[in-house]
Chain A
Amino acid sequence: MDLIRLKSLKTDMEKCFRCSLCKMIPLPVVRHPEFTDACPASRLFHFHGYSGSGKQIMALSLLDGRIEPDEALARAVFTCTACGYCDVACKFIMDAERHRVNMVLREHLVDRGLSPPAHKKVRENLRTYGNPKGRPERTAGAWAEGLGLKVLPERKAEVLLFAGCVPSNDPQSAEVVRKLARLLLHAGVDLGILGDAEPGCGLPAYWMGDRDLFTKMASDAVSIFSKTNVRTIVAASGSCLGAFRSKYPEYARAPDVEVLHATEFLLRLISEGRLSLPRPVRARVTYQDPCYLGRQSEPYAKWEGVERTALGVMTYTDPPKPVSRGVKGVYEPPRQILRAIPGIEFNEMYRIREYSFCCGAGGGVPAAYPELARSAAQHRLTEARAVGGELLVTACAYCEAHFRRVQEDGGSQKQPEKMKVVDIIELVYEAAGLDG
Chain B
Amino acid sequence: MGAKEINDRLRAVLSEDGLSTDPDILTLYRVANPIVRDRVGPSRVARPRDVTELQNLVRLANEQGLHLVPVSSQGPHGKGGTACAEEHIALDLSSWKKILRTDRRNRVCMIEPGVTYGELLDALEPLGMTVPMPLAPRSGKSVAAAVMDREPSTWPNRQWDISDPVGSTEFIFGTGDIFRTGAAGGPGSLEKQRVAGGAQKSPMGPSQTDFQRVVQGSQGSLGIVTWLTVRTELRPSVEGPCLIGSDELEKLIPFIYGVQRPWLGEHSFILDRNAATLLMTHNAPDSFEAVTASLPAFICLQNIAGFERLPRERVAYQLKDIEEIAARNGLALSSSLGSVLAPELLKAATRPCGPRDFRHALRGHCLSIFFLSTLDQSPRFLGAIGEVAGRHQIERNRIGIYLQPVVQNHACHIEFMVPFDPENRGEVELMRRFEADAVHELFDEGAFFSRPYGAAGKLAFVRNQLNNAVLKKIKDIFDPNRVLNPGKFGL
Q: Is A in direct contact with B (CB under 8 Å) within the complex? A: no
Q: Chain B interface (Cβ within 8 Å of chain A)?
A: none
**Residues of A at under 8 Å CB distance from B?**
none
